Structure 1
Amino acid sequence: MSQANLDFLAHLFDVVESLTERADQQISFGLDEVGPTSSLAQDDVGMDGFKVSIMVMSSIGSALDHAITLRSLVTKAGEVTNAAPWTLLRGVIEPSSLAVWILDATSRVHRQERALRVWRHDMHERSNWEKDTGFVPTPPGKKATDRMKQIDEIVQRLGLRPQQVAQKLYYSHTVRDAGEAAGMPGAAARARWRECSGFAHGRNWSSMRLSQPIAATRLRDRDGAMVALTLNETHLEGVADLATTLLNKALSDYADAANG
């Protein structure tokens, strides 16, 4: 555990506070409703249940959920573990980047294609879960594979590009592109994301490169050492800056699209 100085997280926590300060906004996180004549409402036309707005709102909501949890960990627990802040900030970065990546597409067609690509990715992951669990939806519910067919039909009906929607989704791409859209080098944004993923997956390289060693004990076979590590606030600050920047960009893009 670490008694860390995490004052640099204040900017991220200010965003959370501004969106959750009223009790009636706990579910929507304070996001404005989609205006009926707005650009985002027009993006939703013809998308049936696979709307652009739903994907963007759920992504922002997930980012805020992780930020709220990090705020509780830091401000209420008073102590933080080494990996948890990185993992929670990853939970802000990935969905925020997804929202920015969708909304910053250059045309309505591209926004629809990107949103449907994410929806299709979701249904593919759900299909794997259904296979693992043996779950069969009760009619009129449909299997994930049937939902994927619905998405393909929407693509055909709207004259979108099937190959764009069907290709695999990579967060390394959405983080890079969203970082560039927010005015930062894409490779730097992707590097911060990779650091978070290293901690989330329990990888040694990230712990050794980005944590603060405080003690070491030689192993019995003398071929290595057991190293005690604690949070390195200097490295974490860059990740916090990325998370805050992407979340603010996602919120700004959403407000413009939902109201404009």
Structure 2
Amino acid sequence: MATEETAVHSEAWEQFGAWLADVQNLSQDTHAYPLAPESLLAGDELDIPKGPGPAAVVRTLLDASVDNLGAAFSLAQAGRLSPVGIPTLVRGTIELSGLGMWVLTGTERAGRQERALRVGHDSLINAYKFFKERSELPGFSTENKKAAAASAAEHKDSAAALGEAAAKAGLKRTRVTAKLNRTEALQEVDKARGSDFFSLWQLCSGFAHGLAWAPSLFHLPVGTHTMEGGGIITASTFHEERALMMFLWGKHAIEELRGTFAAGRSATGGPETTLVSMPREKMEVEARAKGIQINYQFTFPPPRQPESSTFYMAQPNNPKG
């Protein structure tokens, strides 16, 4: 594949850059994205067992999403439209934003808490696997192996303790300790939202994994090259228009998460309240069928792109608590 070396300057790119600068500044501000008193997410922090709450998990995922997209844009600003690097970074943005959406749209307070804790449990389990592998590396010294083994045991114990604490708090232990399947999480969001987090993530994953089908589908072919001694390579280029399209996928994913996060930070409701994210018509039909009242919140207008994206908070007509 060939890299398109060009400085990207156009109104669309400038608008994207201005938007990105704004969200990057928010990610660097520890006081950004506050939880309104008595909001859903503020309530989620009550009585949650030892471990990360939904708001903290979502803020972490949001900031990581922005950082991935910012790193990709820095390549474009330098005039290097990296044909693999940019899609790989956009992949991270889409995945993490979609995972944040999945956490926020858990069923009722318990569902949001369980999903947030599952993300935390998954982190501990991955740390355990990392240190366990290092404790068995043949090239490591005995001292380093012992240190890695101690860290592995510590993270394994922390994961077990998190599951126990969740059960004591009345949450489903298995929903916290189950393996986190990010593919299924993105597909769940898409099913409710009518979005395409999964398919775009899948395409970008093709680049990240070095698979030929993704660039053959998205990049523009320019010819072939026969290697010295044999072997034919297909050459393709990553044009500016295609690159901007991919950046806008990342922007849309972030705005979906920011809009949902804004609703959770501002909307009020009891422990039975669920954040619903789906197209308006579909949401209203399902809400009426279930006898659910829709409350439109305007305290923190969700900064959504495109404008057709919608998000609502729904709760039972007579919520308990």
Fold match by TM threshold 0.5: yes
Written as runs of structure 1 = structure 2, the 5 A alignment for 1:1-260 is 1-3=3-5, 12-21=16-25, 25=26, 27-28=28-29, 31-45=32-46, 46-75=48-77, 77-134=78-135, 135=148, 143-184=154-195, 188-218=196-226, 225-232=232-239, 239-260=246-267
Matched-pair contact (CA < 8 Å) for 1:70–1:88? yes
Matches of 1:170 and 1:234, distance apart in 2 = 33
Task: Name the SS of the counterpart of 1:229 in structure 2.
Answer: strand
Task: Name the SS of the counterpart of 2:50 in structure 1.
Answer: coil
Matches of 2:24 and 2:229, distance apart in 1 = 53
Matches of 1:131 and 1:10, distance apart in 2 = 47
Task: Name the SS of the counterpart of 1:143 in structure 2.
Answer: helix
Segment drifting more, 60-69 vs 151-160: 151-160
Matched-pair contact (CA < 8 Å) for 1:81–1:231? yes
Greater helix percent: which structure? 1
Cα deviation code 1:177-221 (max 9, x no counterpart): 33344442xxx4322111111111111222333222212124577
What TM-score do the two structures reach when normalised by structure 1?
0.83
1:11 Cα offset (Å): 6.0
**Alpha-carbon spacing, 1:203–1:189, altered in 2? closer, same or farther (3 Å):** same
How many percent identity over aligned positions? 23
Segment drifting more, 189-198 vs 233-242: 233-242
Q: Which amino acid aligns with 1:250?
A: L
1:6 Cα offset (Å): 8.4
Cα deviation code 1:106-141 (max 9, x no counterpart): 311111111111111111111011112332568xx9
1:52 Cα offset (Å): 1.7
Q: Over the residues paired in the alignment, what is the CA RMSD in angstroms?
A: 2.8
Segment drifting more, 96-105 vs 229-238: 229-238
**Alpha-carbon spacing, 1:40–1:87, altered in 2? closer, same or farther (3 Å):** same
Matches of 1:250 and 1:129, distance apart in 2 = 29
Cα deviation code 1:70-105 (max 9, x no counterpart): 222212x11212111101111110110111111122
Gaps of 5+ in 2: 136-147, 268-321
**Alpha-carbon spacing, 1:198–1:44, altered in 2? closer, same or farther (3 Å):** same
1:65 Cα offset (Å): 0.5
Segment drifting more, 210-219 vs 101-110: 210-219
Choose between structure 1 and 2 for higher RCO, CA contacts under 8 A separated by at least 6 residues.
Answer: 1
Q: Which amino acid aligns with 2:68?
A: H
Q: Which amino acid aligns with 2:80?
A: E
Task: Name the SS of the counterpart of 2:32 in structure 1.
Answer: coil
Task: Name the SS of the counterpart of 1:34 in structure 2.
Answer: coil
Q: Which amino acid aligns with 1:18?
A: D
**Alpha-carbon spacing, 1:9–1:158, altered in 2? closer, same or farther (3 Å):** farther
**Alpha-carbon spacing, 1:150–1:175, altered in 2? closer, same or farther (3 Å):** same
Question: Which protein has the larger Cα radius of gyration, Structure 1 or Structure 2?
Answer: 2
Matches of 1:9 and 1:30, distance apart in 2 = 28
Matched-pair contact (CA < 8 Å) for 2:118–2:178? yes
Matches of 1:199 and 1:106, distance apart in 2 = 34
